[in-house]
Amino acid sequence: MKSLQDALYNWLTIKVVCDARPNDTAAKQTEQFFSRLLEEDHQLSHLSVIKDSPFYFITFWKDGSEQQKRFPIEMIDVMLNQIELTPDKYRNVDE
């Protein structure tokens, strides 16, 4: 994934799902994949997330400096909202 913006968006979207569903194995594995991608392909470290309406703020280190990106909450929460609306379609594979 060449775009840092896209990689951060994908990571944050699945991280929100992981945080809401800590026993969801598929979500956890997907979050780990995107986390590694951010570290290895984009050389990010020290990622942290703050939710402060109307945005999620991601703070990270890249090239020796702290940087920040923001994403609208409603854009990031779409996947979690869909899962919560139709939980039978998103059962944990380990259950």
Q: Among residues of the chain, what percentage have pLDDT more than 90?
A: 88
The identity of residue 4, as a single letter, is L
Residue 57 pLDDT greater than 90, yes or no: yes
Per the model's pLDDT, the better-predicted residue between 94 and 29 turns out to be 29
This model's pTM is above 0.85: yes
Cβ atoms 11, 34 nearer than 8 A: yes
DSSP reduced 3-state for 57: strand
Question: Domain ranges in the chain?
Answer: 4-87
pLDDT tier at 95 (50, 70, 90 boundaries)?
low
- DSSP for 18-45, written as a single string: HHH-TT-HHHHHHHHHHHHHHHHTT--E
Q: Among residues of the chain, what percentage have pLDDT more than 70?
A: 96
